[in-house]
Amino acid sequence: MRTKRVCWMVGALGLLVLGGPARAEDQPTEVTGAQVASEVAGKPVCRDAGVTVSFTTGSAVLDLNARGALNGVATWMKAKDDRTLHLQGYADPTGNAEDNLKLSENRADAVKDYLVSQGVAPEHIITAGRGEEADHLPANGRTVTFMACEPAAKVAEATPAPEETPPPPPAEEPVAEAPVMTPVPEAVPPPPAYEAAPKNPFYGSRFGWAVMVGGGYQDFTNGTMRNLTSGGGSWAARLVGGLNSFVGFEAAYVGSARNIQPLGLSSNSTLVSNGVEGTLRINVPIRMYTSLLEPYGFVGLGWSRYSINNYNAIVTSDFTTSADNVMTVPVGGGIAYAYKAFIVDARASWTPTYYNNLLTNGSTSGTLNNWGVGGQIGFAF
């Protein structure tokens, strides 16, 4: 009887050991809300900004309306340092596909350059050219589209709500509640969309400067001076400001030279003038991508000194003196053409003069009035 009782007790003890609770390492691993939040936090949230900048065929230059739209984008970008933009340029199917791919890259780069000039960090802007993709885009694909991105706000560490566990029933483990997760905040929407109007290209700097030199032909309008002298050559060096404005100015050094033929006799004397003048220009700038065609008119004020070389009082008896200082009022007009940094200019002028004392018994005004035509070349910037 004792032997049976001992065997029964050993068998029961074995059942208890083998049927005990499973080992801790065999239990499934639980994923917490804090782990999910940590994976979501920091990933950028990108959305279509709804901004589209349009261009004309073959162009990659921003017009006034496009720059106004980009000012709003620049303000939004500078509001937070961690925002980024993805710019994609497109072109229409006109022309060569390889050239259009390069043109689409140039359009995206033009938008980036303007945003950088408005204070946006260049490393926060990514550009790409997509070439000829026009089906889903306005302006037949001649556009740059915007994708605005910013990192999602950091999610606070998830904290489970306080437990209110009733007394557990006998032989049962308490059930753990799932942690409460804080939702990821909604990303700040991008600025409102601006639809750019058709492009009006902008050439050179916003104001526009040029340095030019040239020459031409000049003659007097006074009959007595025409009888005593021949027509002659003229020269000029000019600094022009305001090429891209309706109102500009010029500062110039001017001069001329012509032969003197007093009393019908031959002479080796020469009448030379040197002076300076400043003029106000009224321009009509017509911009065409990298070119500028500009008709203009001008009026100004100047000073010139006329002098006679090899002066001989007998041969040149029609002149009272060998030199004369006069006031000039140049008036005229012309047309300029610029391609990138190269500029040419053609003009015609009429110049009244005052305080003339060169001729014997001549009046103090009008004796040295002259007209002229000429051309110039130079550099625009």
- CATH number of this structure's domain 209-380, picked from the four choices 1.10.3720.10, 3.40.718.10, 3.40.50.2020, 2.40.160.20: 2.40.160.20
Return the closest-CA partner of residue 324 out of 365, 357, 353: 357
Superfamily for domain range 44-151: OmpA-like domain (3.30.1330.60)
- What are the boundaries of each domain within the chain? 44-151, 209-380
Which tokens hold the place of 241?
């400001």
Contacts of 170 (CB under 8 A, 6+ apart): none
Return the closest-CA partner of residue 335 out of 270, 254, 243: 243
Residue 326 above 60 pLDDT?
yes
* Contact (CB, 8 A) for 326 and 298: no
The Cα 101–Cα 99 span in angstroms is 5
What pLDDT does 26 receive?
44
Q: For the chain, what is the mean pLDDT?
A: 78
Backbone angles phi, psi at 258, to 5 degrees: -155, 155
What pLDDT does 124 receive?
87
Whether the model pTM is above 0.75:
no
What pLDDT does 41 receive?
52
The Cα 286–Cα 244 span in angstroms is 9
The mean pLDDT value for 119-129 works out to 90
Render pLDDT for 279-302 as a digit per residue (tens, 0 to 9): 999 999 998 878 999 999 999 999
% of the chain at pLDDT higher than 90 = 33
Return the closest-CA partner of residue 121 out of 159, 84, 161, 166: 84
Highest mean pLDDT among 73-77, 145-149, 242-246, 343-347: 343-347
What pLDDT does 174 receive?
52
Render pLDDT for 230-251 as a digit per residue (tens, 0 to 9): 899 999 999 999 988 999 999 9
Q: Which is more confidently placed, 129 or 332?
A: 332
The Cα 221–Cα 302 span in angstroms is 18
